[in-house]
Protein backbone atom coordinates (compact mmCIF):
# COMPACT_ATOMS: atom_id res chain seq x y z
CA UNK A 1 0.00 0.00 0.00
CA UNK A 2 1.44 3.33 -1.09
CA UNK A 3 0.15 6.52 0.60
CA UNK A 4 1.04 9.95 -0.76
CA UNK A 5 -0.09 13.33 0.55
CA UNK A 6 -1.44 15.38 -2.34
CA UNK A 7 -2.93 18.39 -0.56
CA UNK A 8 -2.31 20.29 2.66
CA UNK A 9 -4.26 23.54 2.92
CA UNK A 10 -5.21 24.89 6.31
CA UNK A 11 -6.98 22.09 8.14
CA UNK A 12 -7.76 20.06 5.03
CA UNK A 13 -5.60 17.18 3.86
CA UNK A 14 -5.82 14.82 0.93
CA UNK A 15 -3.94 11.58 0.37
CA UNK A 16 -3.79 9.23 -2.57
CA UNK A 17 -3.71 5.57 -1.69
CA UNK A 18 -2.59 3.00 -4.24
CA UNK A 19 -3.09 -0.74 -3.82
CA UNK A 20 -1.09 -2.63 -6.43
CA UNK A 21 -2.85 -5.40 -8.31
CA UNK A 22 -0.41 -7.90 -6.84
CA UNK A 23 -1.27 -6.78 -3.32
CA UNK A 24 -4.98 -7.05 -4.08
CA UNK A 25 -4.38 -10.58 -5.36
CA UNK A 26 -2.40 -11.51 -2.24
CA UNK A 27 -5.06 -10.13 0.09
CA UNK A 28 -7.80 -11.95 -1.79
CA UNK A 29 -5.81 -15.20 -1.69
CA UNK A 30 -5.49 -14.83 2.08
CA UNK A 31 -9.25 -14.33 2.43
CA UNK A 32 -9.97 -17.37 0.24
CA UNK A 33 -7.58 -19.50 2.25
CA UNK A 34 -9.33 -18.36 5.42
CA UNK A 35 -12.73 -19.67 4.28
CA UNK A 36 -11.52 -22.79 2.45
CA UNK A 37 -11.97 -25.12 5.43
CA UNK A 38 -15.22 -23.48 6.55
CA UNK A 39 -17.23 -23.42 3.34
CA UNK A 40 -19.65 -26.22 2.56
CA UNK A 41 -20.59 -26.46 -1.09
CA UNK A 42 -22.71 -29.16 -2.67
CA UNK A 43 -20.56 -31.76 -4.44
CA UNK A 44 -17.41 -31.03 -2.43
CA UNK A 45 -16.09 -32.46 0.79
CA UNK A 46 -15.27 -29.93 3.54
CA UNK A 47 -11.87 -28.37 2.88
CA UNK A 48 -11.67 -29.80 -0.63
CA UNK A 49 -13.30 -27.02 -2.63
CA UNK A 50 -10.82 -25.82 -5.27
CA UNK A 51 -9.63 -22.26 -4.71
CA UNK A 52 -10.54 -21.35 -8.27
CA UNK A 53 -14.12 -22.40 -7.62
CA UNK A 54 -14.20 -20.49 -4.34
CA UNK A 55 -12.99 -17.45 -6.20
CA UNK A 56 -15.77 -17.74 -8.78
CA UNK A 57 -18.42 -18.05 -6.04
CA UNK A 58 -17.09 -15.70 -3.37
CA UNK A 59 -14.41 -13.64 -5.08
CA UNK A 60 -16.35 -10.42 -5.56
CA UNK A 61 -17.83 -10.31 -2.05
CA UNK A 62 -14.45 -11.10 -0.49
CA UNK A 63 -12.75 -8.47 -2.63
CA UNK A 64 -15.26 -5.92 -1.31
CA UNK A 65 -14.09 -6.86 2.19
CA UNK A 66 -10.48 -6.56 1.05
CA UNK A 67 -11.09 -3.04 -0.24
CA UNK A 68 -12.94 -1.97 2.90
CA UNK A 69 -10.17 -3.34 5.12
CA UNK A 70 -7.61 -1.55 2.97
CA UNK A 71 -9.50 1.73 3.35
CA UNK A 72 -9.56 1.29 7.14
CA UNK A 73 -5.85 0.46 7.21
CA UNK A 74 -5.06 3.48 5.03
CA UNK A 75 -7.00 5.79 7.32
CA UNK A 76 -5.22 4.46 10.37
CA UNK A 77 -1.83 4.69 8.70
CA UNK A 78 -2.45 8.29 7.62
CA UNK A 79 -3.45 9.35 11.13
CA UNK A 80 -0.60 7.57 12.90
CA UNK A 81 2.22 8.54 10.53
CA UNK A 82 1.13 12.17 10.27
CA UNK A 83 0.00 12.50 13.91
CA UNK A 84 -3.35 13.92 12.86
CA UNK A 85 -6.52 14.28 14.92
CA UNK A 86 -9.73 14.08 12.93
CA UNK A 87 -12.47 16.68 13.07
CA UNK A 88 -14.79 14.56 10.93
CA UNK A 89 -14.85 11.09 9.43
CA UNK A 90 -12.62 10.79 6.35
CA UNK A 91 -14.24 11.11 2.93
CA UNK A 92 -13.25 8.34 0.53
CA UNK A 93 -13.32 9.00 -3.21
CA UNK A 94 -13.11 5.90 -5.38
CA UNK A 95 -12.34 6.06 -9.12
CA UNK A 96 -15.26 7.21 -11.27
CA UNK A 97 -14.26 4.95 -14.16
CA UNK A 98 -16.31 1.74 -13.76
CA UNK A 99 -13.93 -0.25 -15.94
CA UNK A 100 -11.06 0.75 -13.69
CA UNK A 101 -13.01 -0.43 -10.64
CA UNK A 102 -13.94 -3.72 -12.32
CA UNK A 103 -10.33 -4.47 -13.17
CA UNK A 104 -9.20 -3.69 -9.64
CA UNK A 105 -11.90 -5.94 -8.16
CA UNK A 106 -10.59 -8.72 -10.38
CA UNK A 107 -7.03 -7.91 -9.16
CA UNK A 108 -6.02 -7.14 -12.74
CA UNK A 109 -5.19 -3.47 -12.14
CA UNK A 110 -4.06 -1.21 -9.33
CA UNK A 111 -6.71 0.43 -7.17
CA UNK A 112 -6.15 4.12 -6.46
CA UNK A 113 -8.47 6.14 -4.23
CA UNK A 114 -8.41 9.48 -2.42
CA UNK A 115 -8.79 10.08 1.32
CA UNK A 116 -9.89 13.64 2.18
CA UNK A 117 -9.61 14.78 5.79
CA UNK A 118 -10.44 17.72 7.98
CA UNK A 119 -8.23 17.77 11.04
CA UNK A 120 -8.39 19.44 14.40
CA UNK A 121 -6.44 22.68 14.77
CA UNK A 122 -3.33 22.63 16.89
CA UNK A 123 -3.15 25.33 19.53
CA UNK A 124 -1.67 25.80 22.98
CA UNK A 125 -3.76 26.49 26.04
CA UNK A 126 -3.07 29.88 27.57
CA UNK A 127 -2.75 30.75 31.25
CA UNK A 128 -6.21 31.48 32.66
CA UNK A 129 -5.13 32.54 36.12
CA UNK A 130 -4.99 36.23 35.21
CA UNK A 131 -8.65 36.31 34.16
CA UNK A 132 -10.85 38.24 36.60
CA UNK A 133 -14.60 37.73 36.42
CA UNK A 134 -17.43 39.42 38.26
CA UNK A 135 -20.03 37.03 39.59
CA UNK A 136 -23.36 38.74 40.31
CA UNK A 137 -25.11 37.27 43.34
CA UNK A 138 -28.55 38.05 44.72
CA UNK A 139 -30.12 37.10 48.04
CA UNK A 140 -33.72 36.02 48.59
CA UNK A 141 -35.58 38.62 50.64
CA UNK A 142 -38.25 37.85 53.21
CA UNK A 143 -40.82 39.66 51.10
CA UNK A 144 -40.13 37.30 48.17
CA UNK A 145 -40.64 34.27 50.39
CA UNK A 146 -43.87 35.74 51.75
CA UNK A 147 -45.11 36.55 48.24
CA UNK A 148 -44.35 33.03 47.01
CA UNK A 149 -46.18 31.48 49.95
CA UNK A 150 -49.13 33.81 49.38
CA UNK A 151 -49.33 32.56 45.77
CA UNK A 152 -49.15 28.97 46.99
CA UNK A 153 -51.93 29.63 49.46
CA UNK A 154 -54.08 31.22 46.78
CA UNK A 155 -53.55 28.30 44.43
CA UNK A 156 -54.32 25.88 47.24
CA UNK A 157 -57.51 27.60 48.42
CA UNK A 158 -60.81 25.75 48.36
CA UNK A 159 -63.82 26.67 46.23
CA UNK A 160 -67.52 26.22 46.97
CA UNK A 161 -70.53 26.54 44.70
CA UNK A 162 -72.26 29.89 44.60
CA UNK A 163 -75.91 29.86 45.60
CA UNK A 164 -78.24 28.83 42.79
CA UNK A 165 -78.49 31.61 40.24
CA UNK A 166 -75.27 33.28 41.40
CA UNK A 167 -73.30 35.18 38.76
CA UNK A 168 -69.62 34.56 38.03
CA UNK A 169 -67.30 37.38 39.08
CA UNK A 170 -63.58 38.01 38.70
CA UNK A 171 -61.78 35.65 41.06
CA UNK A 172 -64.47 32.98 40.80
CA UNK A 173 -63.87 29.56 39.29
CA UNK A 174 -66.15 28.23 36.57
CA UNK A 175 -66.32 24.56 35.64
CA UNK A 176 -66.98 24.36 31.92
CA UNK A 177 -67.32 22.09 28.90
CA UNK A 178 -66.35 23.69 25.61
CA UNK A 179 -65.94 22.92 21.92
CA UNK A 180 -63.97 25.31 19.72
CA UNK A 181 -64.39 25.72 15.97
CA UNK A 182 -62.52 27.59 13.26
CA UNK A 183 -64.48 28.20 10.07
CA UNK A 184 -67.12 25.86 11.45
CA UNK A 185 -64.72 22.95 11.96
CA UNK A 186 -63.67 21.63 15.38
CA UNK A 187 -59.89 21.72 15.83
CA UNK A 188 -57.49 19.56 17.80
CA UNK A 189 -57.01 20.74 21.38
CA UNK A 190 -60.05 23.02 21.20
CA UNK A 191 -62.38 20.90 23.32
CA UNK A 192 -62.53 19.87 26.97
CA UNK A 193 -64.93 18.68 29.64
CA UNK A 194 -65.06 19.68 33.32
CA UNK A 195 -62.28 22.24 32.84
CA UNK A 196 -61.58 24.54 35.77
CA UNK A 197 -61.09 28.18 34.78
CA UNK A 198 -60.29 30.89 37.34
CA UNK A 199 -61.66 34.12 35.98
CA UNK A 200 -59.00 36.82 35.97
CA UNK A 201 -56.13 34.31 35.84
CA UNK A 202 -55.45 35.08 32.14
CA UNK A 203 -54.67 31.41 31.50
CA UNK A 204 -56.97 31.11 28.48
CA UNK A 205 -56.86 32.94 25.16
CA UNK A 206 -57.16 36.72 25.67
CA UNK A 207 -60.84 37.69 25.80
CA UNK A 208 -62.13 34.22 26.66
CA UNK A 209 -62.47 34.73 30.41
CA UNK A 210 -64.05 38.18 30.10
CA UNK A 211 -66.93 36.71 28.10
CA UNK A 212 -67.82 34.35 30.95
CA UNK A 213 -68.25 37.09 33.56
CA UNK A 214 -71.85 37.16 34.77
CA UNK A 215 -72.51 33.57 33.70
CA UNK A 216 -74.66 31.25 35.82
CA UNK A 217 -74.45 27.50 36.39
CA UNK A 218 -76.29 25.68 33.59
CA UNK A 219 -75.92 28.56 31.15
CA UNK A 220 -74.60 28.13 27.62
CA UNK A 221 -72.55 30.85 25.99
CA UNK A 222 -70.84 31.45 22.68
CA UNK A 223 -67.36 32.87 23.12
CA UNK A 224 -65.56 34.36 20.12
CA UNK A 225 -61.83 35.06 20.37
CA UNK A 226 -58.84 35.49 18.10
CA UNK A 227 -55.66 33.55 18.72
CA UNK A 228 -52.59 35.78 19.12
CA UNK A 229 -50.44 36.17 16.02
CA UNK A 230 -47.49 34.65 17.88
CA UNK A 231 -49.46 31.68 19.24
CA UNK A 232 -47.14 28.62 19.44
CA UNK A 233 -49.46 26.43 17.33
CA UNK A 234 -48.84 27.84 13.86
CA UNK A 235 -52.13 26.50 12.41
CA UNK A 236 -54.07 28.50 15.02
CA UNK A 237 -52.03 31.71 15.16
CA UNK A 238 -54.08 34.74 14.20
CA UNK A 239 -57.24 32.68 13.57
CA UNK A 240 -60.69 33.57 14.90
CA UNK A 241 -62.31 30.77 16.89
CA UNK A 242 -65.84 30.32 18.18
CA UNK A 243 -66.35 28.27 21.36
CA UNK A 244 -69.62 26.73 22.47
CA UNK A 245 -69.33 26.84 26.27
CA UNK A 246 -71.49 25.13 28.87
CA UNK A 247 -71.07 26.53 32.38
CA UNK A 248 -71.56 23.56 34.71
CA UNK A 249 -70.73 25.31 37.99
CA UNK A 250 -69.81 28.71 39.38
CA UNK A 251 -67.62 28.54 42.47
CA UNK A 252 -66.40 31.22 44.82
CA UNK A 253 -63.01 30.97 46.55
CA UNK A 254 -62.67 30.40 50.27
CA UNK A 255 -60.47 32.48 52.52
CA UNK A 256 -56.72 32.29 52.06
CA UNK A 257 -54.95 31.13 55.20
CA UNK A 258 -51.22 31.03 55.77
CA UNK A 259 -50.44 28.83 58.73
CA UNK A 260 -49.10 25.44 59.76
CA UNK A 261 -52.10 23.74 58.15
CA UNK A 262 -51.12 25.20 54.80
CA UNK A 263 -47.60 23.81 55.25
CA UNK A 264 -49.01 20.37 55.97
CA UNK A 265 -50.83 20.33 52.63
CA UNK A 266 -47.37 20.51 51.05
CA UNK A 267 -45.99 17.74 53.25
CA UNK A 268 -44.17 19.99 55.71
CA UNK A 269 -44.73 20.10 59.44
CA UNK A 270 -44.89 23.85 60.00
CA UNK A 271 -45.05 27.24 58.34
CA UNK A 272 -41.41 27.86 59.28
CA UNK A 273 -40.40 24.68 57.43
CA UNK A 274 -42.42 25.79 54.42
CA UNK A 275 -40.69 29.16 54.42
CA UNK A 276 -37.32 27.44 54.64
CA UNK A 277 -38.16 25.17 51.69
CA UNK A 278 -39.41 28.10 49.61
CA UNK A 279 -36.29 30.13 50.40
CA UNK A 280 -34.10 27.21 49.35
CA UNK A 281 -36.01 26.83 46.08
CA UNK A 282 -35.83 30.54 45.26
CA UNK A 283 -32.13 30.59 46.16
CA UNK A 284 -31.51 27.72 43.75
CA UNK A 285 -33.06 29.74 40.94
CA UNK A 286 -30.86 32.73 41.77
CA UNK A 287 -27.75 30.55 42.04
CA UNK A 288 -28.49 28.98 38.67
CA UNK A 289 -28.88 32.39 37.05
CA UNK A 290 -25.69 33.61 38.72
CA UNK A 291 -23.91 30.58 37.28
CA UNK A 292 -25.26 31.31 33.80
CA UNK A 293 -24.04 34.89 34.00
CA UNK A 294 -20.55 34.01 35.19
CA UNK A 295 -20.31 31.18 32.65
CA UNK A 296 -21.16 33.58 29.84
CA UNK A 297 -18.51 35.99 31.13
CA UNK A 298 -15.99 33.14 31.20
CA UNK A 299 -16.82 32.07 27.64
CA UNK A 300 -16.50 35.69 26.49
CA UNK A 301 -13.07 35.87 28.12
CA UNK A 302 -11.94 32.58 26.56
CA UNK A 303 -13.24 33.57 23.16
CA UNK A 304 -11.13 36.69 23.30
CA UNK A 305 -7.95 34.74 24.11
CA UNK A 306 -7.97 32.12 21.40
CA UNK A 307 -7.64 32.54 17.66
CA UNK A 308 -6.98 29.60 15.35
CA UNK A 309 -8.26 28.07 12.12
CA UNK A 310 -11.54 26.18 12.39
CA UNK A 311 -12.53 23.04 10.49
CA UNK A 312 -14.76 24.49 7.74
CA UNK A 313 -17.24 21.61 7.71
CA UNK A 314 -17.76 21.83 11.47
CA UNK A 315 -18.52 25.53 11.12
CA UNK A 316 -20.86 24.85 8.21
CA UNK A 317 -22.75 22.19 10.17
CA UNK A 318 -23.07 24.41 13.23
CA UNK A 319 -24.23 27.35 11.12
CA UNK A 320 -26.82 25.15 9.42
CA UNK A 321 -28.20 24.11 12.82
CA UNK A 322 -28.29 27.71 14.10
CA UNK A 323 -29.83 29.04 10.91
CA UNK A 324 -32.55 26.40 10.93
CA UNK A 325 -33.51 27.55 14.43
CA UNK A 326 -33.56 31.18 13.32
CA UNK A 327 -35.81 30.48 10.33
CA UNK A 328 -38.14 28.27 12.38
CA UNK A 329 -38.45 31.00 15.02
CA UNK A 330 -39.26 33.67 12.45
CA UNK A 331 -41.84 31.43 10.81
CA UNK A 332 -43.49 30.58 14.14
CA UNK A 333 -43.76 34.29 14.99
CA UNK A 334 -44.86 35.31 11.52
CA UNK A 335 -41.93 37.71 11.23
CA UNK A 336 -39.40 38.62 8.53
CA UNK A 337 -35.82 39.82 8.76
CA UNK A 338 -37.07 43.29 7.86
CA UNK A 339 -39.40 43.17 10.87
CA UNK A 340 -36.34 42.48 13.01
CA UNK A 341 -34.53 45.50 11.58
CA UNK A 342 -32.03 43.57 9.47
CA UNK A 343 -31.63 41.69 6.21
CA UNK A 344 -31.16 37.99 5.55
CA UNK A 345 -27.62 38.64 4.35
CA UNK A 346 -26.65 40.56 7.51
CA UNK A 347 -28.36 37.97 9.72
CA UNK A 348 -26.48 35.14 8.03
CA UNK A 349 -23.17 36.93 8.58
CA UNK A 350 -23.98 37.45 12.26
CA UNK A 351 -25.06 33.87 12.85
CA UNK A 352 -22.05 32.55 11.00
CA UNK A 353 -19.89 34.43 13.51
CA UNK A 354 -21.96 32.82 16.26
CA UNK A 355 -21.37 29.38 14.72
CA UNK A 356 -17.63 30.05 14.55
CA UNK A 357 -17.62 31.12 18.19
CA UNK A 358 -19.44 27.98 19.26
CA UNK A 359 -17.03 25.72 17.41
CA UNK A 360 -14.00 27.61 18.72
CA UNK A 361 -15.19 27.45 22.33
CA UNK A 362 -16.11 23.79 21.94
CA UNK A 363 -12.57 23.00 20.79
CA UNK A 364 -11.01 25.06 23.59
CA UNK A 365 -13.12 23.39 26.27
CA UNK A 366 -12.40 19.99 24.76
CA UNK A 367 -8.66 20.57 24.94
CA UNK A 368 -8.90 21.93 28.48
CA UNK A 369 -10.86 18.85 29.51
CA UNK A 370 -8.45 16.50 27.78
CA UNK A 371 -5.46 18.24 29.34
CA UNK A 372 -7.03 18.03 32.81
CA UNK A 373 -8.16 14.41 32.21
CA UNK A 374 -11.76 15.32 33.01
CA UNK A 375 -14.20 12.42 32.70
CA UNK A 376 -17.96 12.04 33.02
CA UNK A 377 -18.85 8.95 35.07
CA UNK A 378 -21.34 6.58 33.46
CA UNK A 379 -23.55 7.04 36.51
CA UNK A 380 -24.04 10.73 35.67
CA UNK A 381 -24.84 9.91 32.05
CA UNK A 382 -27.39 7.34 33.23
CA UNK A 383 -28.97 9.97 35.48
CA UNK A 384 -29.23 12.31 32.49
CA UNK A 385 -30.81 9.49 30.50
CA UNK A 386 -33.38 8.87 33.25
CA UNK A 387 -34.21 12.58 33.30
CA UNK A 388 -34.74 12.44 29.53
CA UNK A 389 -37.00 9.39 29.85
CA UNK A 390 -39.23 11.29 32.27
CA UNK A 391 -39.94 13.76 29.48
CA UNK A 392 -41.70 11.02 27.51
CA UNK A 393 -44.26 9.40 29.84
CA UNK A 394 -45.57 6.16 28.39
CA UNK A 395 -42.71 5.92 25.89
CA UNK A 396 -39.86 5.26 28.30
CA UNK A 397 -38.90 1.87 26.83
CA UNK A 398 -38.79 3.15 23.24
CA UNK A 399 -36.72 6.20 24.21
CA UNK A 400 -34.38 4.08 26.35
CA UNK A 401 -33.78 1.64 23.49
CA UNK A 402 -33.15 4.53 21.10
CA UNK A 403 -30.41 5.99 23.29
CA UNK A 404 -28.81 2.66 24.11
CA UNK A 405 -28.60 1.73 20.42
CA UNK A 406 -27.46 5.16 19.28
CA UNK A 407 -23.96 6.18 20.43
CA UNK A 408 -24.42 9.63 18.93
CA UNK A 409 -27.51 10.24 21.08
CA UNK A 410 -25.68 9.07 24.21
CA UNK A 411 -22.81 11.39 23.33
CA UNK A 412 -25.27 14.28 23.19
CA UNK A 413 -26.26 13.50 26.78
CA UNK A 414 -22.62 13.33 27.86
CA UNK A 415 -21.43 16.51 26.12
CA UNK A 416 -23.14 19.15 28.32
CA UNK A 417 -22.17 17.24 31.47
CA UNK A 418 -18.56 17.25 30.34
CA UNK A 419 -18.75 20.93 29.46
CA UNK A 420 -20.03 21.89 32.91
CA UNK A 421 -17.17 20.00 34.54
CA UNK A 422 -14.65 21.78 32.31
CA UNK A 423 -16.25 25.16 33.08
CA UNK A 424 -15.98 24.39 36.80
CA UNK A 425 -12.33 23.48 36.29
CA UNK A 426 -11.55 26.77 34.53
CA UNK A 427 -13.55 28.78 37.05
CA UNK A 428 -11.27 27.28 39.66
CA UNK A 429 -8.30 28.82 37.84
CA UNK A 430 -9.62 32.37 37.42
CA UNK A 431 -10.25 35.08 39.96
CA UNK A 432 -13.93 35.46 40.86
CA UNK A 433 -15.19 38.67 42.46
CA UNK A 434 -18.72 38.44 43.83
CA UNK A 435 -20.91 41.48 43.33
CA UNK A 436 -24.20 41.72 45.29
CA UNK A 437 -27.05 42.74 42.97
CA UNK A 438 -30.82 42.80 43.05
CA UNK A 439 -32.86 39.98 41.55
CA UNK A 440 -34.00 42.33 38.79
CA UNK A 441 -30.40 43.18 37.89
CA UNK A 442 -29.43 39.50 37.95
CA UNK A 443 -32.02 38.66 35.31
CA UNK A 444 -31.92 42.00 33.48
CA UNK A 445 -29.72 40.97 30.56
CA UNK A 446 -31.41 37.64 29.79
CA UNK A 447 -33.43 38.84 26.81
CA UNK A 448 -30.54 40.81 25.37
CA UNK A 449 -27.98 38.02 25.48
CA UNK A 450 -27.06 36.75 22.05
CA UNK A 451 -27.02 33.03 21.35
CA UNK A 452 -23.27 33.46 20.86
CA UNK A 453 -22.99 32.81 24.59
CA UNK A 454 -23.70 29.17 23.89
CA UNK A 455 -21.12 26.59 23.02
CA UNK A 456 -21.85 23.78 20.65
CA UNK A 457 -22.88 21.26 23.29
CA UNK A 458 -25.45 23.72 24.68
CA UNK A 459 -26.87 23.99 21.21
CA UNK A 460 -27.38 20.23 21.05
CA UNK A 461 -24.49 19.35 18.78
CA UNK A 462 -22.89 15.97 19.18
CA UNK A 463 -19.39 15.53 20.57
CA UNK A 464 -16.43 14.91 18.38
CA UNK A 465 -15.29 11.30 18.33
CA UNK A 466 -11.85 12.21 19.66
CA UNK A 467 -13.04 14.26 22.65
CA UNK A 468 -15.68 14.20 25.34
CA UNK A 469 -17.11 17.60 24.53
CA UNK A 470 -18.71 19.01 21.47
CA UNK A 471 -16.65 20.47 18.70
CA UNK A 472 -19.44 20.76 16.22
Q: What is the mean pLDDT of residues 171-179?
A: 95
Q: Buried b vs exposed e over 355-377: b needs ≥16 C-beta within 10 Å?
A: bbbbbbbbbbbbbbbeeeebebe
- Whether the pLDDT of residue 155 is over 90: the answer is no
- Whether the pLDDT of residue 471 is over 50: the answer is no
218 DSSP assignment: T
- 472 pLDDT band, cuts 50/70/90, is very low
- 454 pLDDT band, cuts 50/70/90, is low
User: Is this model's pTM higher than 0.75 or not?
Assistant: no
- Whether the pLDDT of residue 283 is over 60: the answer is yes
74 DSSP assignment: H
Of the candidate ranges 35-44, 50-59, 354-363, the one whose mean pLDDT is the lowest: 35-44
Question: Do the domains 287-453 and 158-253 match in fold?
Answer: no
Query: What region does 10 belong to: left with phi over 0, alpha with psi -120 to 50, or beta?
Result: left
Count other Cβ atoms within 10 Å, centred on residue 105: 18
Count other Cβ atoms within 10 Å, centred on residue 32: 18
Domain 2-118 belongs to what topology?
A: Alpha-Beta Plaits (3.30.70)
> What φ, ψ does residue 234 adopt, rounded to 5°?
-60, -35
- Whether the pLDDT of residue 45 is over 90: the answer is no
Name the CA radius of gyration of the chain, rounded: 33
What is the model's pLDDT at position 457? 56
- 276 pLDDT band, cuts 50/70/90, is very high
What is the model's pLDDT at position 470? 35
> What φ, ψ does residue 241 adopt, rounded to 5°?
-125, 145
- Whether the pLDDT of residue 452 is over 80: the answer is no
The CATH number that domain 158-253 falls under is 3.10.50.40
Query: What region does 194 belong to: left with phi over 0, alpha with psi -120 to 50, or beta?
Result: left
The superfamily CATH assigns to domain 287-453 is Trigger factor, C-terminal domain (1.10.3120.10)
| Contact indicator for 212, 247 with CB cutoff of 8 Å | yes
Integer Cα distance of 240 and 222 in angstroms: 13
- Provide DSSP, 153-196: HHHT--EEEPPTTPPP-TT-EEEEEEEEEETTEEEEEEEEEEEE
User: Would you call 144 exposed, middle or buried from its count of C-beta atoms within 10 A (0-12, 13-18, 19+)?
Assistant: middle
Integer Cα distance of 93 and 16 in angstroms: 10
Domain boundaries in the chain? Answer: 2-118, 158-253, 287-453
109 DSSP assignment: S
Amino acid sequence: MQVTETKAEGLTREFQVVLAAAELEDRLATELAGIKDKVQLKGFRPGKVPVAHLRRVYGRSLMADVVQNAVNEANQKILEENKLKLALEPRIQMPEDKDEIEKALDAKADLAFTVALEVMPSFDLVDHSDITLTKPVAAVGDEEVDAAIARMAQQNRSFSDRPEGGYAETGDRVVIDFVGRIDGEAFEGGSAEDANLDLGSNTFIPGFEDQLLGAKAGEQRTVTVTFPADYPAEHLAGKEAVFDVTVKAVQTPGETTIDDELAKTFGLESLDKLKEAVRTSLSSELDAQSRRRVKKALLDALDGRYAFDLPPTLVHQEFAAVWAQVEADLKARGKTFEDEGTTEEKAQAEYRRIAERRVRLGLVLAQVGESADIKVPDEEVNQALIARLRQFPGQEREVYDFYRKNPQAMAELRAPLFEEKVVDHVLGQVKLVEEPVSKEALFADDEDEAPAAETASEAGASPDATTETSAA
